[in-house]
Amino acid sequence: MSERPSLDERLNRPLSIGGKPVANRLWLAPMAGLGHIAYRRLLDEYGGCGLMFTEMCSAKAVPTENRTVSPVFRWRDEELPRLVCQIVGATPEELIPAARRVEDEGFFGIDINMGCSASGVVKRNSGAALLKDPVAALAAVEAVRKEVSIPLFVKFRTGWTPDVGPAVALAQQFEAAGVDCLVFHPRVAPDKRTRPPAIDHIRVIKEAVSIPVFGNGDVVLPEECLSMLDKTGCDGVSIGRMAMARPWLFAEWTAGFEPSASAFRDYALRLADLLDHYYDPIRALKRYRLFTIYFAANFKYGHSLQTRFLGAKSMADIRAVADEHIKPGMPLTRRPNMNMYSI
């Protein structure tokens, strides 16, 4: 009997999306307010991430956005060959001009958001709201597919009820319409992560289509990543909040990287530097505060650390907190405290 492949062997198997090669099967999930240009540059410094996704970009805004000043639709030229732009919109009229811009700029691919259930997104009939209207969801996908030749992704959830049947039907329709890859988060749209994801639904989606399906949802430890691959047959795993907590996990799980004793302090300070580089002081501080939720969850006394960060009034204050309160040997939790995660 042959040995079971290790996690790194599973994640490093060759993969092609829409005819384009991808470095591996461990990807960064799109995250509003978190997957920005500063974080992605930091992630690239660690390495190991097969594809990165931008944070959610408004399809209405993308056609006229100035990449040098936009807080969201912004990138480094060197990351484009492995960067997918996620757009959110409700109709072909909104999505088509954005898709054209994304292709013209040279992104690896484009992702249509059908997973965000934030009230501001849903009330505009976009994001997860499209799952309530399969006809509109399919029309959006078909319209974008006709306009661009780069790989097309759809990130979506189970739907608005626990029944996976409608998601299966949509997945099959998306494949027929020319979608190249599905990223599936097996939770109902209203669920703010109060219940565990229905991991078996990933298997159901994977078995229903022949295009690659990536699983997403509460993968924290390497054994959980391997378990998702084994139990669902998915083609790879998309990591969200855990990527914010420990960005080196991509290199750790795919290439055996071992973080140093000062890894957490180095991470906190490097992200501060990069946010200062790319954003004005107010935006930099706001985005750093979002990050601290996930960062502080690594520590046994994380609530205290996060409180100190949230009390910072400037990026200089942020650095002072990191310098004074993040030390090698601080008590860590093997599994970050997800009760601290608020978004």
Positions marked active-site: 116
Query: How do 213-216 and 236-239 pair as beta strands?
Result: parallel
Beta strands in the chain (DSSP E): 15-17, 20-22, 26-28, 52-53, 57-58, 83-88, 109-114, 152-159, 181-188, 213-216, 236-239
Query: How do 109-114 and 152-159 pair as beta strands?
Result: parallel
Helix (H, G, I), strand (E, B) or coil at 83: strand
The tokens describing 277, both together, are 């580089």
What is the Cα–Cα distance from 18 to 180, expressed in whole angstroms? Answer: 5
State whether the Cα torsion 304-307-311-312 is positive or negative.
positive
Angle, helix 134-147 to helix 165-177, in steps of 10 degrees: 20
DSSP result, 101-118: HHHHHT-SEEEEEE----
